[in-house]
Structure 1
Amino acid sequence: MDGFTVFMLAIVCVGVPVTLGIGSEMFKGWLRHKETMATALNAQTAEKAAQYAAHTERLEQRMRVLERIVTDRGIELSDEIELLRDDRPRNGTKTTQEMRS
């Protein structure tokens, strides 16, 4: 074997494993970084989900209050509307036509 072949064989026998070792360490570091980023993203997503759930709960509570107001006053309100539509006097009150004249 001539000197060039021995030199190339030495570079291949030493250089390839060193290059693969360095490359594998770089890849492991990149994977650790991606795992850290995924963990941070998961925590952020969980926090946003909790905020949305709390907001939804507040909105549902407000809806329950509004529904209670509407249903509790619904009958009274409809009676009041009917009284306004009716031109007959109630309990000694004047009709809308008598008030206009």
Structure 2
Amino acid sequence: MDTGTLALLIPIMALSIPLFRIWTKHQKEIAEMEVAKTAERAAQYAASNKELEDRVAVLERIVTDRGYDIATQIEALRDTREVEGLTARSESGIN
């Protein structure tokens, strides 16, 4: 390397160091924003998961507390609706 090339590289290096520092700072900020966004998504998933766990717990409690009586209750509700429908038809004169 001759002195002319060395004299040219010194100012280029002196100017590139602040640019490199700015670039690395920018990359760090981008990474921090991505981490924050990922953490926010994880919190949303955790909240959603908690809601689902609560719903499953309620369903488990319903099934275990009342046993299989639920099917009988559903059928009773269906029978009640059929009777109400027949009553409404007979009152309106529709057979």
Hey, which bits of structure 1, 4+ residues long, moved more than 3 A?
75-78
1:11-30 counterparts in 2 under 5 A? 11-30=4-23
Instruction: State TM-score, norm by structure 2.
Output: 0.65
AA aligned to 2:45 is Y
Aligned residue pairs, count: 71
- State the partner residue of 2:63: 70
Higher helix share: 2
CA distance in structure 1 between the partners assigned to 2:30 and 2:70 by the alignment: 57
RMSD: 1.9
Instruction: State TM-score, norm by structure 1.
Output: 0.61
AA aligned to 2:41 is K
- State the partner residue of 2:24: 31
Larger relative contact order (C-alpha < 8 A, sep ≥ 6)? Answer: 1
% identical aligned pairs: 38
1:77 is displaced (CA, Å) by: 4.9
1:1-101 counterparts in 2 under 5 A? 9=3, 11-77=4-70
Which has more radius of gyration? 1
1:27 is displaced (CA, Å) by: 1.4
CA distance in structure 2 between the partners assigned to 1:25 and 1:67 by the alignment: 62
